[in-house]
Each structure stands twice: as structure tokens, then as C-alpha cells.
Structure 1
Amino acid sequence: MPFLIKPVLSPGTLARVPQPVIPTGDGLLLRPWRAEDAPALHEIFQDPLIHRWHTRAAHSEEEAGGWIDEWVAAWTEERTAQWAVADAATDRLMGRVGLNGIALDDGVTEVAYWTAPAARGQGVAARATTALARWALDETGFHRLELTHAVANTASCRVATKTGFALEGTKRSAGLHTDGWHDMHLHARVRGD
């Protein structure tokens, strides 16, 4: 049965090109993950605040390396797109930003991020999210970027608001964390915002 509408983005939009390095313009780079990032990724995932808002744990550098392998493969499979956020001058790992649940046909994906403990308070998540949104909406052609976070995660809400993601509502009991179910804020940006 034929579709009446064309896909927003065609299959291969991401996979036919190497994952780009995206500069923020203010000292950070969004770059593809590399195997040598595994020790720093493992160390970051020992942080209690990371455990509070994420559902995965990295028990070893090898496990962190496995995540990196998954993230690299996911680009060519166009399932997710994950970037390491690094200091442009030193390449020190400062955080992560990514697109989850990519739906090319609909031109919709979800933005996610975290910041390394040593980099908090420097606007890393907001700067990286701004650069990623610009790339996804303006350069690549996504139509809609969604962003969800636990209502109790006020720092994440500040990032969403600061980066132009309008609060669209609250999804009741929609996110399961280690301490139980959380109401989740839904924010979004659409092309042209």
C-alpha cells in the first residue's frame, strides 16, 4: 500500500556520510565516540547524580567500551546518534549529547544529554544541545526534536528551556528510574522555531 506523503528524511540520510564533528563555536566539540574514551566514560558513570537520572550502569571500562561500540554502530544503522562532548583545546571528555529513537520517515527524534561531574556549572549541556539542535534541524532536515526529563530533574529542565525547547506538557508516570516512576516533562523544538 503506497504512502500519500513522502518521508521527511530518506533512509541513508545519516549512514551515507561519516558522523560529523560539530563545533559549538565556544570551545566545545561534539565528536564521534572513540575506544579510548572508555576509561573516562566508566569513571563518569560512577557518579551518584548520573545514577540518579540514568537507568544504566558501567561496571567496568570494558562495559563502557561496549557502549561506545554500540553507539558507533548505531550511526550506520540510523537508530541513534551519539556524540562525545569534548573540550576543543584539550579533548577532555565533558559530556554526551545524542539523538535517540530516530524516525527518519517522520523527521522526529529525541535529544538526550549528560554532563561529566567535573564539567558541571559551565553550560556544557546547553551549549552542546544548542549545537546539536542547529545541526539536526537546520543542516540535516529533521522536523521535530523532543526532549524529556523527570519533572524532579530541575537542572535538565533549565537546559531544555535555555536551549529553546518549549515545554509542551507532563507525561504522568512515564519514566522509570531506580527510585520508581517519575512524571516526565515533554519539551520540543520544531524546524523554524
Structure 2
Amino acid sequence: MADIREHHDAPRTFDLRGHGLRLRLWDPESEEDVKTWLRGRSDPEFRRWNTPLILERDLADARESLTSHATEVADGTGVPFCVTDEATGAVLGHIGMHVASRTMRFGRVGYWVLPEARGRGVASRALLLATRWAFAELPLHRIELGHALGHGASCRIAERCGYPYEGTQRDAMWEAERHDAFRDCHLHARLSTDPEPSL
């Protein structure tokens, strides 16, 4: 598959700024990015609600995981953004856009925030910024957001950012820390024709 950056309707930029944030690509060659990725994805609160394909336990796991996410840009299946503070450059978290179907212009979004950055509206601001970009640049028409049942914070972020609740998907996510058991998932979605909310 062609590099997303060479595709005829490929995004023009992977450096987004707005709402006090800068979204840039993660760099699997950067020791600091790998360490931050490991810290974010091994955080107990992250693991409570998310079970990644690679359960990162050390820097080698984190590098493998981050590299697999970075290759999404090259194979055209998605874009993993490192969420940073626009003024200081401090890393605050992650937001990833995944292209599920180019034909249907349909994608999915997921995000997490580092412990020290929680409670500051980082996820909401990053979601608004990345959604606007994905509708304009990928260009997607529908973006889905799923979270484990009971994750009230993600539910509130979704609603605040114009992703209304659409239903409950049965056994659509892995249970915490397991790849052999499942749990239900709340489905939210936003369309390119929906009005953009303001924070």
C-alpha cells in the first residue's frame, strides 16, 4: 500500500496546533518518546480501561508497540499523534486516528492522557483538534469512538466533543489485562456534517 503521505488525497500536515496543544507524530527512534509511551500505556488507570495488543512491560515492548503504531502512517491505516503542550513542548498524552475504510470514509479514534495532565481538558481539546483535522485531511465522514462500559470520563469527553452515544456493543473490547475475555463497549460517533462543539 502506498505511503499515506504520497496518496493523492493524503494529509498535508501531521503537525496540528490549537486549543493550547500541538499534535505531532510519535518518534519510535526517540528514547524519550519510547519512555513516555511506556509510562502512559503501563499506567494502572490506562490498563484499567484499555488492553492493547502488546501489553508493554519494558522499553523493548514499548519500542515494538510504538513502531507498530508509527507504521500506520506508512501503510495508510492511521496516524498516531503525540499530544504536547504548545507552549512548553511537554508530552501530555496520545490520540490516534485509524482509517477503517477509505471507501466508506470511516475511521476510529482513541486517546489517553498521562496522569499528571489529567483534569485539564487535554483529551477534549486533543479530540476536537484531531477530529477537525481528520474530517478535512483524511478525509473521513464518520469517526467512531468506543470505550469500556463504566468509563464515565470517556463518555463525558465524547459527548462534550460532539460524539453522541449510539449504543452498546456486546463483547467488543478485551477485559483489562486479558486477551482471552471480553467486555461491552459504549459506541459514540461523529459525522463530518455534525456541528463542531465549542469548549
TM range, normalised to the smaller chain? 0.7 to 0.9
Q: Which residue of 2 aligns with 1:21?
A: 15
Q: 1:140–1:45: structure 2 CA closer, same or farther, 3 Å change rule?
A: closer
* 1:19-43 deviation per Cα after TM superposition (whole angstroms, max 9, x unaligned): 51111x2221110001320111112
Moved more, 119-128 or 43-52: 43-52
Contact preservation (8 Å) 1:94, 1:115: yes
**Between Structure 1 and Structure 2, how many residues are aligned?**
182
RMSD over aligned Cα, in angstroms? 2.0
Alignment of 1:2-41 (within 5 A): 14-16=4-6, 20-23=14-17, 25-34=18-27, 35-36=29-30, 37-41=33-37
The partner residue of 2:61 within 60, 63, 79 is 63
Cα distance in 2, alignment partners of residues 146 and 44 from structure 1: 22
Q: 1:94–1:129: structure 2 CA closer, same or farther, 3 Å change rule?
A: same
TM-score, length basis structure 2:
0.84
Contact preservation (8 Å) 1:78, 1:102: no
Cα distance in 2, alignment partners of residues 47 and 13 from structure 1: 32
Q: Which residue of 2 aligns with 1:158?
A: 156
Alignment of 1:162-173 (within 5 A): 162-173=160-171
The partner residue of 1:116 within 109, 114, 117 is 114
Cα drift, residue 126 of structure 1: 0.7
Cα drift, residue 50 of structure 1: 1.0
Gaps of 5+ in 2: 195-199
Contact preservation (8 Å) 1:151, 1:157: no
Cα drift, residue 184 of structure 1: 1.1
Cα drift, residue 142 of structure 1: 0.8
The partner residue of 1:48 within 44, 50, 55 is 44
Equivalent position SS for 1:136: helix
Cα drift, residue 178 of structure 1: 2.3
Q: Which residue of 1 aligns with 2:186?
A: 185
Gaps of 5+ in 1: 1-10
* 1:78-130 deviation per Cα after TM superposition (whole angstroms, max 9, x unaligned): 12211110111222211110113531111001011111111100111110010
Q: 1:62–1:90: structure 2 CA closer, same or farther, 3 Å change rule?
A: farther
Q: Return the letter of the residue paired with 1:192.
A: T
Cα drift, residue 170 of structure 1: 1.1
Equivalent position SS for 2:14: coil
TM-score, length basis structure 1:
0.86
Equivalent position SS for 1:152: coil
Q: Which residue of 1 aligns with 2:197?
A: none
Q: Return the letter of the residue paired with 1:22.
A: L
Contact preservation (8 Å) 2:3, 2:73: no
Q: Return the letter of the residue paired with 1:121.
A: G
Cα distance in 1, alignment partners of residues 101 and 83 from structure 2: 23
Cα distance in 2, alignment partners of residues 170 and 127 from structure 1: 25
Alignment of 1:133-148 (within 5 A): 133-148=131-146
